[in-house]
């Protein structure tokens, strides 16, 4: 049985070996890499990414990253390409072929067909003397000294290098295109990430109603209003607009402080100068403000006028938190 100390040592050695391989990639960011980025930026077609075995899996991830950051890309399996999938390639596409050795039988069969199409062929390869490297227009060098596998066989360090090089390519393209978080949201409308980038305060607050009382409202009116809207608070509004907020916490503090509350009105217990957020702001910004001020509600405004309340429970329901 392997001792825990050996497991820990092996894990650390694996991570250090792969981290070292990624650091070494910085030496391979050369003229070819820069040219490939510029060609893709000027591309009127798409990027076709292909590979075999574990490289095919990495190729699929690179395609996903490119698509999500504004660069149209399609995955083509190298084995399927010679059985009909070559039809995917169009006239103005650029092809990136991934292979550690650059000499696999599937790659050797595929490359001549790729060259016949006249498309630019980019090799992401770990062997500069390989068949793929010799026939490519440009090379993205992902050479590694050895695999993390004890037998130096299972693709580990080499696939990590491919993945990192793909990320470097995608991020360069994203940066050159000034691809913003708003652009990113267009490609990620679902899930928490998308909601953080596009869901507005109004999308939530408009469903809550507008609890409000006047500064002279008695405690019974205040309690009825808070209970009716179930937001744990009500705005206090006079002719000039928002003057305060009364929350469940204010009610509890009032009861602790006063034995007789019949003479009290909203103005006596409200919190003045309450935190507000504009209706057009992102819901994620509302969350940041609530966390910063350790509060559960924000009064919502539109052009300076009271427009409702957003509650932290609204954000929880939408998965923003």
Torsion region of 118: left, alpha or beta (phi above 0 gives left; psi -120 to 50 gives alpha): left
Category of 99 on φ-ψ map: left (φ > 0), alpha (ψ -120 to 50) or beta: beta
pLDDT of residue 87: 87
Give pLDDT tens digits for 36-53. 999 999 999 999 999 999
Residues making up the binding site for Zn(2+): 77
Q: What is the pLDDT of residue 238?
A: 95
Which of 141, 158, 148, 136 has its CA nearest to residue 55?
158
Cα separation, 168 vs 68, in Å, equals: 14
What distance in Å separates the CA atoms of residue 229 and residue 135, rounded to the nearest whole number?
70
Which CATH architecture describes the domain 4-179? 3-Layer(aba) Sandwich (3.40)
Q: For residues 163 and 264, what is the distance between their CA atoms, to the nearest angstrom? A: 66
Residue ranges for the known binding site are 77
- 55, 7 in Cβ contact below 8 A? no
Q: Which of 103, 54, 105, 114 is nearest to 81 (CA)?
A: 114
Given this model, what pLDDT does residue 82 score?
78
Predicted pLDDT at 190: 60
pLDDT of 105-128, one tens digit each? Answer: 999 999 999 888 889 999 999 999
Helix 157-176 vs helix 31-41: angle between axes, to the nearest 10 degrees? 50
**First CA to last CA across the chain, in angstroms?**
43
25, 124 Cβ separation under 8 angstroms: no
What 8-state DSSP symbol labels residue 208? T
Q: Sorting pLDDT into bands at 50, 70 and 90, what band is 153?
A: confident
Q: How does pLDDT run across 167-212, given as a tens digit for each residue?
A: 999 999 999 988 776 666 666 656 666 677 778 999 999 999 999 9
Tokens of 210: 């507008």
Spans of all domains in the chain: 4-179, 201-317
Q: CB-based contacts of 172: which residues, under 8 Å, 6+ apart? A: 37
Cα distance between residue 147 and residue 21, in whole Å: 10
DSSP letters, 140-189, are EE---S--SSTTS-SSSHHHHHHHHHHHHHHHHHHHHTT--HHHHHHH--
**CATH superfamily of the domain spanning 201-317:** CBS-domain (3.10.580.10)
């Amino acid at each position: 049985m392997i001792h825990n100390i050996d497991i820990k040592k092996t894990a650390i050695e694996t991570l250090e070996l792969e981290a070292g391989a990624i650091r070494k990639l910085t030496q391979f960011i050369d003229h070819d890499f820069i040219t490939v980025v510029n060609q893709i930026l000027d591309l009127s077609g798409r990027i076709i990414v292909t590979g075999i075995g574990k490289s095919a899996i990495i190729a699929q991830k690179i395609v996903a990253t490119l698509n999500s950051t504004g660069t149209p890309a399609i995955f083509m399996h190298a084995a399927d390409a010679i059985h009909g999938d070559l039809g995917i390639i169009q006239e103005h596409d650029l092809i990136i072929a991934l292979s550690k050795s650059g000499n696999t039988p599937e790659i050797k069969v595929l490359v001549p067909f790729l060259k016949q199409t006249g498309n630019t062929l980019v090799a992401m390869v770990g062997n500069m003397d390989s068949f793929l490297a010799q026939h490519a227009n440009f090379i993205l060098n992902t050479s590694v000294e050895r695999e993390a596998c004890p037998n130096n066989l299972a693709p580990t360090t080499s696939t990590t290098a491919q993945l990192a090089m793909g990320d470097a390519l995608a991020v360069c393209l994203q940066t050159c295109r000034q691809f913003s978080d708003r652009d990113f949201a267009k490609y990620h409308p679902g899930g928490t990430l998308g909601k953080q980038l596009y869901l507005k305060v109004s999308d939530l607050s408009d469903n809550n109603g507008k609890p409000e009382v006047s500064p002279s409202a008695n405690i019974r009116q205040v309690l009825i209003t808070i209970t009716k809207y179930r937001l744990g608070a009500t705005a206090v509004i006079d002719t000039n607009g928002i003057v305060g907020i009364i929350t469940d916490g204010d009610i509890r503090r009032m009861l602790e402080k006063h034995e007789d509350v019949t003479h009290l009105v909203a103005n006596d217990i409200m919190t003045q100068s309450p935190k507000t957020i504009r209706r057009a702001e992102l819901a994620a910004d509302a969350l940041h403000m609530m966390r910063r001020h350790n509060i559960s509600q924000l009064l919502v405004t539109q052009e300076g006028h009271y427009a409702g309340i957003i509650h932290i429970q609204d954000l929880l329901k939408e998965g923003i938190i």
